[in-house]
Amino acid sequence: MEIQQAMQRDSIATARTLSEALPYLQRYDGAIVVIKFGGHAMGDDAEMEKFARDIVLMKQVNVNPIIVHGGGPMINEMLEKQGVKSEFVNGKRVTDAETMKIVEMVLSGSVNKRIVGALNKQGGKAVGLSGKDANLMVCNKAVPDMGFVGEPSKINPGVLHTFLDSDLIPVIAPIGVGEDGQTYNVNGDTAAGAIAAGLNADRLLLLTDVSGVKDADGNVITQLTPSHVEELTTAGIIAGGMIPKTQTALTAIEGGVRGVVILDGREPHACLLELFTEHGAGSLIR
């Protein structure tokens, strides 16, 4: 009897949750949401499965998720196997011709297809591509020169609009192409921000291994404006690896994205909590 009552309470709680989500489901009906996927969840099969299920659910309720992924640890592992040493400048990998071949092989190959497979296993219809496909992400060589590291100069979102008009979920490896056809390695956050801006996305979700932007006391700041971000950066409160993420957010907002959220991808159902609940799950910059 007690088990039946407990199950009934769980069912009622589930129904209440769905009911309370209605305004948010209406709010994001047809919205474009670009999600940068990386960090801990990428290397864990169980976490990957949960992430995939949430993304397929988003598509099912008529949100248009676009996944842009990283893959640094997987690249490091392959470079080590091949005996190729890496050098980093300001958190970005110096990429010579040999390294570029391995980066493209890992990102456009094993990493991309693993995410596609996870989404399809949950009933989605995912399609893998890179920024080279249909000249989606055209790049210039990054400054300072770090070899074949690129900065997006132009986004051609036509191919993505084709996917948005269907039930397909695009999964994009951050590999760009130069005007001369040269292949470039692009930082995953930078690529996600540029693609979100090119689509005038409603939201850009940057999944990380931290809970969000924190104040001087270590508390997560749930909402910020661009000017607030600049103040915290000048004061040294936003520092280290959070700087490129907040700068990506500011650039995306300047490019037309309505809001950027930096959130902890390790939290269960982080994307759903952010989009479909009152309190969200990270730091919203808008």
Tell me, rounded to whole angstroms, the distance of Cα 112 from its chain centroid.
13
- The three-class DSSP label of residue 42 is helix
Q: Which of 70, 72, 128, 193 is catalytic?
A: 72
Active site residue 167: no
d(CA 108, CA 185): 11
Catalytic residue from among 59, 124, 245, 265? 245
Which candidate in 39, 124, 150, 198 is catalytic? 39
Residues 6+ apart with CB under 8 A from 28: 61, 63, 202, 203, 275, 276
Instruction: Tell me which of 132, 147, 189, 212 is the catalytic residue.
Output: 189
Q: Among residues 36, 59, 71, 124, which one is catalytic?
A: 36
Spell out the long-range contacts of 51-56 with Cβ–Cβ below 8 A and sequence spacing 24 or more: 51/118, 51/265, 51/271, 52/115, 52/118, 52/119, 52/121, 52/122, 52/124, 53/122, 54/269, 54/271, 54/272, 55/119, 55/122, 55/124, 55/169, 55/271, 56/119, 56/122, 56/123, 56/124, 56/169
Q: How far apart are CA 198 and CA 193, in angstroms?
A: 9
Q: How far apart are CA 37 and CA 28, in angstroms?
A: 20
Residue 238 and residue 229 in contact, taking contact as beta carbons nearer than 8 Å: yes
Residue 214 annotated to the active site? no
The reply to whether 50 belongs to the active site is: no
Mind telling me the catalytic residues? 36, 39, 72, 189, 245
